[in-house]
Amino acid sequence: MRPNLFNSTVTKFAVVLAATSLVVSGQKIVWSTQEQPIVDSVRKLRKVPDAQRSAVTRDLALEIRRLPLTPNKLTLATSLAGLSTEGDYGIETLQEVADTLFAAVKEQPPADVKGEPAQYMELAQLVRYEHVKLPDDPHIQAALSKLMEIDNIRQGAEFELPDLNGKMWDLKKLQGQVVLVNFWATWCPPCRKEMPDMEALYQRFKPQGLVILGISDEDAAKVSTYIGTHKVEYPILLDTGRKVNDMFQIEGIPKSFLYDRSGKLVAQAIDMRTQAQFLAMLREAGLQ
């Protein structure tokens, strides 16, 4: 679940969504009459059937772009961007979402913060990992440089964590196999949605050397209860102190990182992926 302003469960903005207002870092935001219908649609986006979600997302992006300079236009564009990568809704849809967010940051430049503002990091992720095209911009370039630094850390990551049965798993010792590291939690709807596809791929490619490591920062009892009622046979690791989450700089879930047999980071997903999208990632590591 990517951090976004319409998700009161996990977000770096510390938000609480109410019927007609949003509390962001203790400050109430009241939606205008023009914004409110879009807010309502964005809040319901996860309930839209997958076959329709691409068109609905694209229409919302265009609606936000057509808004006049309302007080919360940037908030709306940022939130939609955070939801647009939950699955495979096509590059055309992602491009519309990215264009809308880019236009919004130019109309309403975010406040200066240490490092690059979250909106520019969002745009940089869409460029680097989802392959959208945006105009040259120094803020986006700075954010892309930051993402490259983080990816270098992930490339060199080493960790050892226990699974639900107490067995220790060492990433470095898994070289020679293809390893998919997936960060997830029981409370995260997109995480839960992608797990059956990962399980199917695990069963299909396990004989070829695929290892999937599902990493949760929750307590063992909660994770065990969930896994006990769902068919998941790939290892589930416990990172209760968030040491590995912090190492990978995980701010929103699900996120997945794929290492080939030599230990090289060859693909990653910044959000939920479909089985077809995971298959495309696995091909990057030589699995067909």
Distance CA 281, CA 262 (A): 16
The answer to whether the peptide bond before residue 254 is cis (omega within 30 degrees of 0) is: yes
Note the pLDDT tens digit of each residue in 86-135: 999 999 999 999 999 999 999 999 876 676 789 999 999 999 999 999 99
Superfamily (CATH) of domain 160-284: Glutaredoxin (3.40.30.10)
Phi and psi at 269, nearest 5°, equal -125, 130
**What's the whole-number average pLDDT of the chain?**
91
Distance CA 2, CA 12 (A): 10
For residues 152-162, average pLDDT: 97
Q: Per-residue pLDDT for 180 more than 50?
A: yes
Q: Per-residue pLDDT for 24 more than 80?
A: no
Note the pLDDT tens digit of each residue in 2-19: 554 444 333 333 232 333
What does DSSP assign to residue 175?
B
- Per-residue pLDDT at 2: 57
Q: Per-residue pLDDT for 60 more than 90?
A: yes
Distance CA 265, CA 30 (A): 43
Residues 6+ apart with CB under 8 A from 35: 67, 70, 72, 73, 76
Note the pLDDT tens digit of each residue in 195-217: 999 999 999 999 999 999 999 99
